[in-house]
Amino acid sequence: MRLNNKVAIVTGGGRGIGEFTAKRFSQEGAKVVVADLNPEDVARVVGEITQAGGQAMPAVVDVTNRAMVDEMVATAVSTYGKIDILINNAGITADNTLLKMTEAEWDRVLNVNLKGVFHCGQAVAAVMVEKGGGVILNASSVVGIYGNFGQTNYAATKWGVIGMTKSWAKELGRKGIRVNAVAPGFILTPMTEKMPEKVLDMMKDKSPLKSLGYADDIASAYLYLASDEARFVTGTVLSVDGGLVL
Ligand code: NAP
C-alpha cells in the first residue's frame, strides 16, 4: 500500500474529485479526514470508507471560515496524532463574462478557491513543521494556466493557486514539506455537469485523447504526488488534461 498509516485531509471530500481521492487514499492505507460543507455528503463518504474496511473521520467545515479550519486541524491531530497529507481540493465556480460579473461572484470564488486554500495550507503546515514534514497538494486547473471564456474569477484563483504552490514549496522544503499542484482538464463531476453539453463535446474533441477525464484520473495524480514515489518532486504543476492544450 502506497500510503500506509499516513493521515490525509481532503477538503471538498464529500463529492466529485475529493470523494474519489478520499476513497482511493483509504484503499492505499491512509486514514482520511473527509472535510466538506454538506454534512450528508461527509457522512456518506465516511460511511462508505469505513464499510469498505478503511479508517475515516468526518469534518463538516467551510474552508473560508478560519475558526472551523483550525478546529478541523486540531481534531484531526487529537484523533490521529499527525497530518501527513493535505489535499486542498474544495473549489467552486460562479461563471459570468467580464462585463457581467458581479462583485459578489468575484468575492465568492476568491474566498473559497484562494482564501480557503490559504487557511487550510497555513493551519496544516504549522502541524507538519512541528511533526517534521508532509505533503500539500493544491487544486489548480487547466483554466488557471490558459484562461477560459466566462471564468475571470475562477481562472484568477486557479492561477493564484499555482503562485501559492510555488511560494510554499520554496518556504517549506527545508522543513521536509513538499508542495505541488494538479491542473485537471475537464473532468466529469457535479461541477462540470453544470456546463452545456456542447461545450463538453468541444473540449472532448479538442483533446488529442478524444476524451474527458474522470475523477479517478485526478485521484491517481494526487496519489502519486502524495506518495514517497514523488519524494523529489516539489513546486510543480502536474497537468492531467488529456493533452487538451498542447
Ligand atoms: P465539485 O464536484 O463541485 O465538488 C467540490 C466540493 O467542494 C463539493 O463537495 C463542495 O461542497 C465542496 N466545497 C465547496 N465550497 C466549500 C467550502 N467553502 N468549504 C468546504 N467545502 C466546500 O467539484 P470537482 O469537480 O470535484 O472539483 C474539485 C476541485 O478540482 C475544485 O477545486 C475544482 O476547481 C478543481 N477542478 C475541477 C475540474 C473539473 O473539470 N471538474 C477541472 C479543473 C479543476 P458542496 O457540494 O456542499 O457545495
pLDDT digits (tens, 9 = 90+) for 11-63: 999 999 999 999 999 999 999 999 999 999 999 999 999 999 999 999 999 99
The CA distance from 178 to 126, in Å, is: 14
pTM listed for this prediction: 0.98
Which pLDDT score is estimated for 120? Answer: 99
Percent of the chain clearing pLDDT 70 (strictly above): 100
Structural domains in the chain?
7-187+214-240 (3.40.50.720)
Q: For residue 174, how far is its CA from the centre of ligand 1 (angstroms)?
A: 31
- For ligand 1, atom 32, name the residue with the nearest CA: 91
- For ligand 1, atom 4, name the residue with the nearest CA: 16
Return the residue matching grid coordinates 463518504: 45
Catalytic-role residue among 154, 214, 222, 224: 154
Which pLDDT score is estimated for 194? Answer: 83
Give kind and range of the element (H or E) at residue 90: none
Catalytic site residue 154? yes
Nearest alpha carbon to residue 8 among 43, 164, 92, 21: 21
The CA distance from 222 to 51, in Å, is: 23
Which pLDDT score is estimated for 195? Answer: 86
pLDDT tens figures, 166-222: 999 999 999 999 999 999 999 999 888 888 899 899 989 999 999 999 999 999 999
Nearest atom in ligand 1 to the alpha carbon of residue 158 is: 34
